[in-house]
Chains A and B, each alone.
Chain A
Amino acid sequence: MPIKISVFGFGDDSPALFQNQKKILLNIDTPATPRAVILEAGFDEAEGLVLMIDNGVIVPQDWDSPIVKDGDDLRVMSAFEGG
């Protein structure tokens, strides 16, 4: 099964794979690491990215753990210090 990836806070700057859509379905072997998923989706660097599955934040130490499963909805957010 593919996993769903949703992006927030990227505007027109989300990776080309998204074609200016906010959601895509990505076919990737699972379980996969969050880092592998975002690389496959076309994010070229991780700085400022926040990842969540459902309501759970993916803590940095889990970025390289195979925790993304079939059917998961991975949310990728572009964060920085606001004001």
Chain B
Amino acid sequence: MAWQNKVLRIDLNNKRCSSEPLNREWAQAYLGQRGLATRYLVDEIDPGIDPLSPENKLIFATGPLTGTPAPTGGRSSAVTKSPLTGAIAASNSGGLFGAELKMAGYDILIIEGRASSPVYLSIRDEVAELHAADEFWGRSVWETEPGLRAKLGDPQTKIASIGRAGEIGVKYACIVNDIDRAFGRSGVGAVMGSKNLKAIAIRGTQGVELNDPEAFLSAVADTNAFMRDHPLKKRYAARGTHNMMDVTNQFGSLPTRNCRDVQFEGVEAINADAVRVPRRSDNKPSLQGNKACFACTIGCGRVATIDPQSSLVNGNDPQGGDRSRYKLPSGGLEYETAFAFGPMCGVDDLDAVNYANFLCNEHGMDPISLGVTIAAAMDLFEENVLTLDHTDGLELRFGNADALVRAVELTATGEGIGADIGLGSTRLCEKYGRPELAMVVKGQEFPGYDPRAMKGMALAYATSNRGACHMRARPFMEDFSNVTTEGKAELVKTTQDLIGAVDSAGICMFANAIIAPEHLSSMIDAACDGDWTVDRLRETGERIWNLERQFNLAAGFSMADDSLPERTVTEPARGGAGTGEVADLSTMLGEYYALRGWDDKGVPLAETVRRLNL
């Protein structure tokens, strides 16, 4: 129970939809979402395949708490082999889509093969059908979602779709659900596009059966009570993740100008205070309010507008479309988006950063990877490697907001220099002979925490199975409290393990940051069959981590890929708490491998494999 015990399999080669029983043994070992989907993927694909070939599979999965009243219990994952990195991709989204999949009666949705022409998948409880999507192909997410909902005639239909970026194979294309929530990282949208699958529309009307409903509601009530007045919850709601920009800037871990710097002089124009300042034109701030995902009691999401007088929202866009759609409120800035289009590109223009964010939602692109890749392109331009000939006259310099905007537009449509930016930082910088300018780990772009001052984050990035990621470990507060490598290996390992379970349970990482592991275990224990103690959750997360590692090793990765970009290990930070420091993995990595039960090459030892039943 709490699992629906059903898998929906979509064979695009033969346009066949079928359901099958969930592997209960795997559910007990891998919980759901990221863990369970990875288990299915590992069983069903060869790790050596081309990620954009029909042999790759795209697996959506819910967790046992998805679709329940557990606070933030609306999460789902998309797992596949990443076209950006070649490693495992596990991308997690909120909104309403995941809960709807669960309500339709499925724990897992497996997409396999490739349709001969564009299709969309319609799921209405037990009825799953593929239909031609020619009328939506070439359309944006913002056109597809309302258009498909109107076509299906049910306003309660929840939709996940790809935009132009996923269709043309931008390596970090994402899958957008509910207009502005996304399975954001690692290019899962490019995989969906390679399968000619434009959208998935779901209407679910079933409930979720719980093992012990009374105990579950009691556990939920306890968790909600704990969260209600918690200071962190208040800060997430009041300030959003955008708040972190002031902290990282002061601390000296705000990646700036492609990590040339760690502090940004223009931060006050684009931080969480700036979005609250009324504009001269209409006396309204950019920030319009909060929004929340399914069952969320935090509401960290933002709704924002662009200055109605801005040229970005007036006249026509480069394709001749009316720009007035950008005058409407839409998803506002999270910290990562603000960092990637702001300091990382040296841009302090709030409207430009908001516009770039809107385009990511509209066309389905990961704003972290896009912003960081544009920063790499700006670095190449500043170094005279990229010239005006390459950019069709675009002055792609750090700080040029107009160039940022144009680069985003070109990437969404794959035109000009946008086609190169759509390759991601690694391929872009390799193409132009300067691979060291790619701020990536395992081919995935850096989030907004520079690893020179944040020692734990350095290890977290280097060892993340999906490439550079700030959500796979939790060294934040310890890093901000102490610029040292001491104790960080154990911290990274233990938080990676717990997060593996959280990412597989159906709740949000931000709830996890507030509640204790005991809250999570009590909710899962009441919802599901089996005894779900905190220790078992940690072991489940460790099992997931090792399974992902095994996939990556089989795909050709090695300890050489547990590393950081040259700039961060050779060029000392020029400000903040890490002044004079470089990122240093030398002691932490060996300590980390030992704690993991891996050999000195980063390969899980036989006894570790045995202990975790891999």
Interface on B for A, CB 8 Å cutoff? Answer: 231-232, 234-236, 238-239, 241, 243-244, 246-252, 272-273, 276, 334-336, 448-449, 470-471, 474, 476-477, 480-483, 509-510, 513, 575-577, 579
Whether B247 pairs with A52 at a CB distance below 8 angstroms is no
Q: Within 8 Å CB of A48, what residues of B?
A: 231-232, 235, 477
Give chain A's interface residue range (CB within 8 Å of chain B): 20 to 34
By a beta-carbon cutoff of 8 Å, the part of chain A in contact with chain B is: 8-9, 11, 13, 45, 47-48, 50, 52, 55-57, 59-60, 75, 77-83
CA A78 – CA B252 in complex, angstroms?
15
Docked pose: A47 CA to B232 CA in angstroms: 8
* Chain A residues closer than 8 Å to B247, beta-carbon distance: 8-9, 50, 77-79
Q: Is the interface of B mostly helix, strand, loop or mixed?
A: helix
Contact pick for B251, options A13, A47, A77, CB 8 Å: A77
CA distance A45 to B236 in the complex (A): 16
Q: Given that A11-B239, A50-B481 are known contacts, is A79 also in contact with B244, CB under 8 Å in the complex?
A: yes
Q: Which residue of B lies closest to A44 (CB)?
A: B231
Of the residues A11, A13, A56, A78, contact of B577 by C-beta under 8 Å: A56
- B482 CB contacts on chain A under 8 angstroms: 57, 59-60
Question: What are 28 pairs between A and B in contact, CB < 8 Å?
Answer: A8-B246, A8-B247, A9-B243, A11-B273, A13-B239, A45-B231, A47-B231, A48-B477, A50-B480, A52-B250, A52-B577, A57-B251, A57-B480, A57-B577, A77-B250, A78-B247, A80-B232, A80-B235, A80-B236, A80-B243, A80-B476, A81-B474, A81-B477, A81-B513, A82-B448, A82-B476, A83-B335, A83-B336
Name the residue on A nearest B579 (C-beta).
A55
| Chain B residue at minimal CB-CB distance from A55 | B579
When A13-B238, A45-B231, A52-B577 are in contact, do A80 and B513 touch as well, CB less than 8 Å?
yes
Closest 6 CB pairs of A and B: A82-B244, A8-B246, A9-B246, A82-B335, A50-B480, A82-B241
Instruction: Tell me if B477 and A82 are in contact (CB < 8 A).
Output: no
**Chain B residues near A11 (CB-CB < 8 A):** 238-239, 243, 272-273, 276
The answer on a CB contact under 8 Å between B483 and A83 is: no
Question: Which of A9, A52, A57 makes the CB contact (< 8 A) with B244?
Answer: A9
What's the nearest-Cβ distance from chain A to residue B319, in Å? 32
